[in-house]
Structure 1
Amino acid sequence: MKILITGTSRGIGLACAKKYLEMGHEVIGFDVAESDLSSPSYTHMIVDIKKDLPDLDGINVLINNAGIQEGPDVIETNLSATIAVTEKYAFQDSIHSVLFMASSSASNGAEFPEYAASKGGVVTYMKNTALRLAKYGATSNSISAGGVYTPLNAHIMDDPKLMQQCLDETLLGRWASAEEIADLSYYLTNVNKSMTGQDLLIDNGEQLKSNFIW
């Protein structure tokens, strides 16, 4: 199948690209940065998803992964551009599945206000996409990850005290790896046939953890 992934230069996007290549698929990656990933089945395109999007046909799986945490373009990048990418590439006869990388912030409202709002919008738009993709027999779902070991979180990972504080907030005392998210992405888009319109919270029990006081 032909897989389009946004934000493939590092982190979850890169892990997803490697996973789909490993499983024998053709992968096209969009990013504003260059990529060190090299494979006959991988095409890397320098694309700012907020601007002009190239014409591509025959996309089977779309993974909306590109996003930022802070800055004046958070809403435009995380939500508006994600909508634009989906509207351009998802609604065609070849489509099999669309996956959105949301965030646990979409449901708990934590972190930066614009970031949380943008990811909440992504989850709602994912459901809208599921409604409209049904006629193609295609699925639309999202992953709302909590802490993940990626370069985006290097400022936490490089601070042992802060890192431990974050781990202590989870039930399982751990964060997810980018490869773990990639494995789940593959299941949702290639194995799954019946789950659609759903947001999966992958946070090692962080939101469930609470101190109950009588």
Structure 2
Amino acid sequence: MRFQDKVALVTGAGQGIGRGIAVRLALEGAKVIVADLHDDADSQRTLALMHEAGGEGCVLAADVGRVDAVRAMVAEGARRMGRIDILVNNAGVEHRATFSEVTESDYDRVLDINLKGAFFAAQAFVRHLGESGRGGRIINISSVHEELPFPDFASYSASKGGIKMLMRNLAVELAPLGITVNNVAPGAIRTPINAPLLDDPELLEPLLANIPLKRLGTPRDVAGAVAFLASADADYITGSTIYVDGGLLWDYTEKRVRTNERKTD
């Protein structure tokens, strides 16, 4: 197994893409720390699926929008599992509003979770690795909107653009420590959180028309890219974004999604 004796921490792992990543890493031998806002039925379901796949792990409740909680999450995860080798910054939210209507609290929430949380989780992880002089992997779940404009989601796009530049900067700075840093950028992924889109043909059909592969992605598609970047096969890859979008980035005309707020983890 590729991740035998490795420990991964996956934020936002209670559902959707985060759950898919946690289960895939567990299937390949990793012990996985399932980090989510609450230790609830969703996060426990992820843990159960990991056990069914033959993996081990634990659940940690943490609000990644708070720096003290992020630092405590990494410290507690390392204490429970003995170490952490792979950090997957997956937790994220988005909020729909025209630019003139964005409130400070909405902006702060999106940037705190999507960008600040990933920044300080990476910092805590790097400090943890430094205690033993080990290398490691940082993988951020970004979005095609690190590159593609997203009208009515300015704060979300800003957070993902920030993640893109943070990844590149850390890749250069941390390379001498044996730490690689990369992004996985999903496009339109079939998760329960996207139910309003999936259930509305008027929104879904134009989107599918813009995806060259003519289907939505799945959490499994994203998890496969994460598993690759976390593995020894990607030892010489750092500072890169892998787009998991069916070609959507290169053939896209924006149609505004009429929903309020949805998590992207």
> TM class by shorter-chain length?
over 0.9
- Tell me the equivalent position of 1:18: 23
- How far apart in 1 are the matches of 2:172 and 2:63? 27
Q: TM-score, normalised by structure 2?
A: 0.75
- How far apart in 1 are the matches of 2:191 and 2:135? 29
1:158 and 2:216 correspond: no
1:64 and 2:89 correspond: yes
- Tell me the equivalent position of 1:189: 230
Structure 1 unaligned segments of length 5 or more: list them.
Answer: none
Q: CA deviation at 1:124?
A: 0.5
Letter in 2 for 1:126: M
1:30 to 27, 35, 57: 35
Query: Secondary structure at 1:174's aligned position in 2?
Result: coil
Number of residue-to-residue matches in the alignment: 211
- Tell me the equivalent position of 1:121: 162
- How far apart in 1 are the matches of 2:236 and 2:11? 24
Q: CA deviation at 1:210?
A: 6.9
- Tell me the equivalent position of 2:126: 90
Letter in 1 for 2:11: T
- How far apart in 2 are the matches of 1:117 and 1:141? 18
1:106 to 146, 157, 162: 146
Residue deviations 1:11-55 (CA, integer Å, cap 9, x gap): 110001100111111100110132112236120111111222321
- How far apart in 2 are the matches of 1:187 and 1:172? 21
Q: TM-score, normalised by structure 1?
A: 0.92
Letter in 2 for 1:196: T
**CA distance 1:160–1:28, change in 2 (3 Å):** same
- How far apart in 1 are the matches of 2:32 and 2:135? 14
Of 189-198 and 90-99, the range deviating more from structure 2: 90-99
Of 108-117 and 61-70, the range deviating more from structure 2: 108-117
Q: CA deviation at 1:7?
A: 0.4
- How far apart in 2 are the matches of 1:89 and 1:138? 10
2:116 to 66, 74, 80: 80
Of 51-60 and 93-102, the range deviating more from structure 2: 51-60
Of 50-59 and 93-102, the range deviating more from structure 2: 50-59
- How far apart in 2 are the matches of 1:83 and 1:90? 11
Q: In percent, how many aligned pairs have the same letter?
A: 27
- How far apart in 2 are the matches of 1:13 and 1:197? 21
Q: CA deviation at 1:95?
A: 3.6
**CA distance 1:161–1:196, change in 2 (3 Å):** same
- Tell me the equivalent position of 1:46: 61
Of 193-202 and 33-42, the range deviating more from structure 2: 33-42
- Tell me the equivalent position of 2:217: 176
Residue deviations 1:58-79 (CA, integer Å, cap 9, x gap): 2111000000011440011100
RMSD value over aligned CA atoms? 1.7
The answer to whether the 8 A contact 1:106-1:120 is kept is yes
- How far apart in 2 are the matches of 1:189 and 1:5? 12
Runs of at least 4 residues of structure 1 off by over 3 A? none
Structure having the higher helix fraction is 2
- How far apart in 2 are the matches of 1:31 and 1:18? 15
